[in-house]
Amino acid sequence: MASPIAQNGPSNLVEPAPAHHDSETSTGQSDPEKPTEPSSPPEKDAGASPGPPPNGGLVAWLQVVAGFFIFFNTWGILSTFPVFQTYYESGELFEASSANISWIGSIQCFLLQLTGLISGPVYDRGYLRLLLASGSFMIVFGLMMLSLCTEYWQALLSQAFCVGIGGGLLFVPTVSLIPTWFSTRIGLAVGIASSGSSLGGVIYPIVLSRLITQVGFPWAVRSIAFITLATFTLPLVVFKIRVRVPKPRAIVDWSAFTDAPFIIFTVALLIIFIGQTVLLFYISFYPENRHFTDTSLAFYIAAIFNAGSTLGRILPNAVSDRIGVFNTMAPLTMLMGVAVFCLLAVHNAPGIIVMAVVTGFLSGVVIALPPVCFRMLTANKAMIGTRVGQGFAIAGFGLLLAGPSGGTILGTVEPLNWTGLWVYAGVTVCASSLILFGLRFSKSGLVIKAKC
């Protein structure tokens, strides 16, 4: 049987694809949410949607706004880790090497992805409220406990494990829910929601860096916890499941492991995450260590980086609705790898600011487009939570490896090996873009024909 991205199911035999879609955006997949005109009444499927998605309207856009705040408090907090990394490097809270410190951020990122193996199937079973309440509590509680930490292992438990798991309970349900409310504007909707992480990555680093000097680390972290507590209110109120599964699905979709395009994309995403996470973790520490900036400006580099990623999460997604998600993601990922190499030529504050904006814009694609890609590679939309959870859990190993491997390459003896670090990050990103180009080509025949 052909791969889901090779055909649009029986309806395509009687109805041509829209003219503005290429072979990719029409996805060659069976989409129960896409309105069609079948020649005979469709069979009833337990996992089918309750009709075409509204593709707009108050309720649909409220899901996007609620998703914006979920990203604000999950990836937005993760995007603040460069500030934590730089502060922990100072030794004021505890003594640890760069590699050990980066384990905190890496485990936090990894658990946000890995927990999708649980939260995805739980979402498919309709327990959205339970996930929202549990995830919100764990993030707020973890931050409160972090404010009391004085040892490395305490920060590891509270920031890495508690906040990371809490974020994982929220992230996969969010990126699974929003696409079910849209048909032709999925990329734009997910892009707007994911831009919340950019805003969080601007506000949280500024709040943290300013308050650390004014009221100290404990109350700076508590202030962030209070912000998350307030902004979790809207998702708890307005999030609403549109596609319900009448009977429980398997927790693991084993067919995904025989779906070549799905696996290829997941491996490419794993490699992308390695380079992107190295960039995120060390973009602030780099100019301070090389004395391009003082400590105060180094803290703001993280905010500048995340501000740049705001447009990188919206514009490419909007473009992907017209030219295709893989046609958009592959070349932009290649440009991101090239931009990382360009960090080697930076020798002053203006240069690092410009590169923070450029790399931030391009890195936004890595967060905003993968959920759309996973949806395109999933034929049965009733399994979207399970598929997205599996994909991000596997790709999350890249997040786990990135920080410690980057810290090991960087070393502990001055001068630190920044050339090796940026070459490592740039090579991984460029390699992943080549895989994406290969996947795009394979969709024209190689992988699909092999599966027919």
Domains of the chain: 58-238+250-451 (1.20.1250.20)
What is the maximum span of the chain, computed from C-alpha positions, in angstroms?
A: 72
Per-residue pLDDT at 448: 32
Residues 6+ away with beta carbon under 8 Å from 431: 271
Residue 111 CA from chain centroid, whole number: 12
Both ends of the chain: CA-CA distance in Å? Answer: 5
For the record, the structure tokens of 253 come out as 């979709």
Of the candidates 333, 355, 359, 354, which has an alpha carbon nearest to the alpha carbon of residue 428? 333
Q: Are 27 and 326 in contact (CB under 8 A)?
A: no
User: What does the chain come to in residues?
Assistant: 452
Contact between 46 and 342 (Cβ < 8 Å): no
pTM (two decimals): 0.71
Listed as ranges, residues in the chain with pLDDT below 70 are: 1-50, 243-250, 381-382, 441-452
Q: What is the pLDDT of residue 250?
A: 67
Surface-to-core class of residue 448, CB atoms within 10 Å of its CB (0-12 exposed, 13-18 middle, 19+ buried): buried
Cβ burial of 434 (10 Å; 0-12, 13-18, 19+) is: middle
